[in-house]
Amino acid sequence: MGDLARFGVSLEQDLLEAFDSLCTRRGVKRSEALRQCIRRELSWEMLADPKVPVAGVLTLMFDHHDSDLPGRLTSLQHEAHDMVIATMHVHLDEHRCLETMALRGTAEEVSQLADRLRSSRGVLQSSCSLTTIDSVESHGHAHHHSHKGQD
C-alpha cells in the first residue's frame, strides 16, 4: 500500500445512512468499506480486459443420474486441465451433486470455460466468481512504471 491520501466526499444523506448501515453490518469503518468498494469496482473493470490474469471458483449443481453429464463435465475439465487447478465433488443427497472448481487463466479463457461448463445440459444451478490475480494497486503501479519507461 502506498502513502495515504485524504479526500472529502459529498453525498446525499439517505445514501450516507445506507452506507453507514452497511458498515455497521460488516463491522468496518467507513474508510475501509470505501476502499473495498473502490477495489471491487476497479477489479470489475479490469475483468473486462480479456488478457488479464484471473482466478476464481465455479460451482455447479447437477443430478448425477442425468444422462451423461458427469462424464461430459469430466471430459471438459480434462481438456482444460491447465485452467482447472482444483475440484471438489460433494454428493449432496441421493441424486444431486455439488461440484466446485478453482479456475485460473486469462479472463477470456476462464470465462469461456466457465460458460461452457455451466451451460452443459443437466446443470440445475451454477455460480461463478472470478477475481483478478494482480491487485488493483499493483496493476495501476505497473502501468505507472510502463508509462515512465516510455518517456
- Asked if 91 interacts with Ni ion (CB under 5 A), we say yes
Query: In this complex, which beta carbon is closest to Ni ion, that of residue 91 or of residue 143?
Result: 91
Query: In this complex, which beta carbon is closest to Ni ion, that of residue 80 or of residue 97?
Result: 97
- Asked if 103 interacts with Ni ion (CB under 5 A), we say no
Q: What is d(CA 45, CA 89) in angstroms, rounded to the nearest whole number?
A: 32
Cell (9 digits) for 17: 445512512
Query: In this complex, which beta carbon is closest to Ni ion, that of residue 97 or of residue 113?
Result: 97
CA R_g for the chain: 20
Where is 101: in which H helix or E strand? strand 96-106
Cell (9 digits) for 91: 454428493
From the list 3-11, 32-40, 86-94, 131-139, the region that binds Ni ion by CB under 5 A is 86-94
Q: What is d(CA 71, CA 54) in angstroms, rounded to the nearest whole number?
A: 26
User: Which of 97, 101, 113, 114 touches Ni ion (CB under 5 A)?
Assistant: 97
Q: Which residues does 135 contact at the CB level (< 8 Å), separation at least 6?
A: 39
Interface pattern 42-71 for Ni ion (x via CB under 5 A) = ----------------------x-------
**Which residues make up the interface to Ni ion (CB under 5 A)?**
64, 91, 97
